[in-house]
């Protein structure tokens, strides 16, 4: 599975279009995603304290079946490979939407459905 912390406005737009897209797709040509072990660092680095986000759990096989290319590319700033999704994400590839709310200190913790 891949994970995308999504702005609520982008997720609401996806409900209308049938595809999730975000500003990074237009600006960089791909949608940034994280693997489970990268999720919290990503959430706390880029979305610290935000309450207007949801977590999308994405089925990588469903993306491939829909013809959406996923490539793991080196992110120098993070020193890791990250999965980049080269195109809008069809809603059929979204396995579930998980509530992400920061603690009072603004930090995100691993959502309960993903623990264990």
Whole-number average pLDDT of the chain: 96
Could you tell me whether strands 53-58 and 19-20 are parallel, antiparallel, or unpaired per DSSP bridges?
A: unpaired
pLDDT tens profile 25-41: 999 999 999 999 999 99
- On the question of pLDDT at 116 being above 80, the answer is no
> CA of 21: how far to CAs of 11, 33, 50, in Å?
8, 12, 19
- What distance in Å separates the CA atoms of residue 6 and residue 25, rounded to the nearest whole number? 12
Confidence at residue 50, expressed as pLDDT on a 0 to 100 scale = 96
- The pTM (predicted TM-score) of the whole model is 0.95
pLDDT tens profile 5-25: 999 999 999 999 999 999 999
> Beta-carbon neighbour count of residue 116 at 10 Å?
5
User: For 60-82, what is the mean pLDDT?
Assistant: 96
Q: Which CATH superfamily is domain 2-106 in?
A: Protein of unknown function DUF952 (3.20.170.20)
Burial label for 58, CB within 10 Å (0-12, 13-18, 19+), is: buried
Domain map of the chain by residue range? 2-106
User: For 57-85, what is the mean pLDDT?
Assistant: 96
């Amino acid at each position: 599975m891949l994970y995308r912390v999504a702005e609520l406005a982008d997720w609401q737009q996806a409900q209308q279009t049938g595809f999730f897209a975000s500003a990074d797709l237009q600006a960089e040509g791909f949608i940034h995603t994280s693997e489970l072990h990268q999720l919290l660092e990503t959430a706390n680095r880029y979305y610290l304290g935000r309450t207007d986000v949801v977590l999308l759990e994405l089925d990588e096989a469903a993306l491939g079946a829909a013809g959406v290319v996923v490539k793991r590319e080196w992110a120098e700033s993070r020193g890791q490979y990250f999965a980049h999704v080269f195109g809008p994400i069809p809603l059929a590839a979204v396995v579930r939407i998980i509530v992400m709310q920061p603690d009072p200190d603004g930090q995100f913790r691993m959502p309960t459905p993903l623990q264990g």
